[in-house]
Structure 1
Amino acid sequence: MDLTGIGGIWPASLTPFAPDGSIDGGALRAHLRHLAETDGVRALVVNGHAGEATSLDREERQAVIRAAREVAGERVGVVAGVVAEDTRGACALARDAAEAGADAILLFPPLLFAGGAEARPEMALRFVSAVAAATALPIVLFQLSRASGLGYAPELLGRLCREVPGIIAVKEGSDIPAAYEASLEAIRGCGRPVTVLTTNNTWLFASLAYGADGILSGVGSVASAILADMFAASQRGDIAAARRANARLLPLTRVFYRRPALDMHNRMKTALHLMGLLPHPDPRPPLLPIEPAERGEIRAALVAAGLLGA
């Protein structure tokens, strides 16, 4: 599926594990099918942070992509995360994604970029260009927060979009409104259409007002229908309806996106388990299962969002 110019909702899916720690293939397919069948979902994103990609080996990552390809059909795209700490590894994962049937890759910056890569823009350009050359798959570029040290400066972001034609979209997570606006300006001014997918999870509604073509977020693994309602209302200018959807979303974002941040997707697994959509909520070690008190808070958030009966 050609995802060029495609916005809408792109949920970042979770990876269910069996009690022995192996991937639960049946639960994975059921989870992906549930997302793919949600109105407004245009692409499934696998092997990202939400999918605990760094705990998966190369064969497991390919297996997840194949499962997504199997259930997505022709109506929904498949985007595979490429999370690697070196260029060679990223290129290998990009080729694996193509072989497994992905339609595009979501390219994460290596963590070492946080050590000052902003002072070496050629490093980012060479990294992204090398991955683009390794496969014919188009690229969704992950723009993280500037505070993390992993975000691209607006000038570099614009340059990447201009000089790497394989980039068809940007997952925009600058976190700060002013930085988000600067990214939007750089992307819109790159000289060709590049889809902007907001992932500013604690202010998605506001980021849509600034301008976005869609939402790519881990919260979509739990609340893709709410995201779709909010996005559709925003697109048609129905602010009241968008606010209502946002009011449903807020209890979830408040309970998911809090300290410690390493548990955010672990909490989403617990939410799906409470909803009866995931048989086993536990993550892979060293992550720990959610404690009973926090499970109660997640349950309350699901009830407040209208996703679970009181």
Structure 2
Amino acid sequence: MTIDLHGIIPPLVTPFDADERVDENALRAEVRYHLDRGVHGLCVTGSTGDGQMLSAEDSATVAAAAVKEVAGRVPVISGIIRDSTAEVIRYGNLLRETGVDALQVTPVHYLFQPDEENTIAYYRRISEETGLPVLIYNVIPYALIPATTVARILNEVPGVIAVKQSGGNIHQLADLLHYAPTGGKVFTAVDDLLYPGYLLGAQGAISATLTVVPELCVAQWDAVQRGDHAEALAIHNKLLPVWRAIDGPNMTVRIKAALALQGRDGGHGRSPLTPVSDVERDTIRQALTKAGVVQH
């Protein structure tokens, strides 16, 4: 179950057409856009991809299109956001047939959280029954998996190869990196603190900002790798306003608006998400302009 995950792994949007169907052509264009900018992997059907709204069949359609377009150039991860072990496994088995390299799986979150032993068993069973490597997607605020438990899973469950640490802000990330789990990698999804996350030891990022401005995020990652911290900090100060502009309710439609302002097709949002207002779009435009991604 070895897979080379590192660096900048954008979680792609799922483009929908006007009838709320998956727009495979728009999706494949986004895959090409990111590959051309040197990303190290791609994630589909996660939070940024409206994974919670997708049927298993929709998820498989998205994953299959991404895998075909990538054609083995970088790893492809597919997200699953479900509330039972059986449903996650059902999705995972369909996704395995598309050729994805790994699954990104949230803990269950509505309404109750299992204890530590059952959380470990949850991830163990998913990895064993799908036969795919698994990344923990630690994002659900009211079902946040403690750093100690994440470290145990990474060290004790061979099929779990990484964690995307999103919830709990940088303090949770710091605790997890302090435990230094040897069984898997730690990726940051604390968008406003990507640079400090790398300095603390995160082995890459899987987060929404990467989707909006992958070229800047790859440049920042490269700057950190070569020790150019002045450049990495300068890019941080470009990325921060972009994150502030897209963060908030209905975030995926905000992200799609940010793509549209760059001439990219993220497609429509899916009901019942609220379309961005003119004020929100102008805020996003200003942030992208300051970052040098769009012109006035």
Q: Same fold (TM over 0.5)?
A: yes
Q: Would you say how many aligned residue pairs link Structure 1 and Structure 2? A: 296
Partners of 1:36 and 1:71 within 8 A in 2:
no
Amino acid paired to 2:46: G
Amino acid paired to 1:295: R
- Displacement after TM superposition at 1:238 (Å): 1.0
Equivalent position to 1:101, from 99, 102, 108? 99
Query: What residue is the counterpart of 2:152 in the other structure?
Result: 159
- Displacement after TM superposition at 1:89 (Å): 0.2
Q: Does 1:245 align with 2:259?
A: no
- 1:86-165 to structure 2, matched below 5 A, reads 86-112=84-110, 115-117=112-114, 120-144=115-139, 148-165=141-158
- Displacement after TM superposition at 1:221 (Å): 1.3
Q: TM-score, normalised by structure 1?
A: 0.91
Query: What residue is the counterpart of 1:221 in the other structure?
Result: 211
Q: Does 1:8 align with 2:12?
A: no
Identity of aligned residues (%): 29
- Displacement after TM superposition at 1:183 (Å): 0.9
Amino acid paired to 1:252: V
Query: What residue is the counterpart of 1:212 in the other structure?
Result: 202
Cα offsets for 1:21-60 (capped at 9, x unmatched): 1111211110111112221x11110000111112221111
Partners of 1:12 and 1:219 within 8 A in 2:
no
- Displacement after TM superposition at 1:139 (Å): 0.8
Provide structure 2 residue ranges, at least 5 long, that are not aligned to the other structure: none
SS class of match (2:249): helix
- Displacement after TM superposition at 1:109 (Å): 0.8
Partners of 2:123 and 2:160 within 8 A in 1:
no
Amino acid paired to 2:67: R
Q: 1:174 to 1:235 in 2, by over 3 A?
A: farther
Partners of 1:14 and 1:265 within 8 A in 2:
yes
Q: Does 1:183 align with 2:183?
A: no
Q: 1:275 to 1:101 in 2, by over 3 A?
A: same
* Distance (whole Å) between structure 2 residues aligned to residue 193 and residue 90 of structure 1: 22
- Displacement after TM superposition at 1:2 (Å): 5.1
* Distance (whole Å) between structure 1 residues aligned to residue 167 and residue 270 of structure 2: 28
- Displacement after TM superposition at 1:91 (Å): 0.6
Q: Does 1:236 align with 2:226?
A: yes
Query: What residue is the counterpart of 2:17 in the other structure?
Result: 18
Amino acid paired to 2:44: V
- 1:40-79 to structure 2, matched below 5 A, reads 41-79=39-77
Partners of 1:16 and 1:23 within 8 A in 2:
yes
SS class of match (1:203): helix
- Displacement after TM superposition at 1:162 (Å): 1.8
Q: TM-score, normalised by structure 2?
A: 0.95
* Distance (whole Å) between structure 2 residues aligned to residue 162 and residue 2 of structure 1: 15
Q: Does 1:307 align with 2:293?
A: yes
* Distance (whole Å) between structure 1 residues aligned to residue 72 and residue 26 of structure 2: 21
* Distance (whole Å) between structure 2 residues aligned to residue 166 and residue 11 of structure 1: 22
Partners of 2:156 and 2:183 within 8 A in 1:
no
Query: What residue is the counterpart of 2:191 in the other structure?
Result: 201
Two-structure CA RMSD over aligned residues (Å)? 1.7
Partners of 2:92 and 2:130 within 8 A in 1:
yes
SS class of match (1:246): helix
Partners of 2:80 and 2:104 within 8 A in 1:
yes
* Distance (whole Å) between structure 1 residues aligned to residue 2 and residue 149 of structure 2: 26
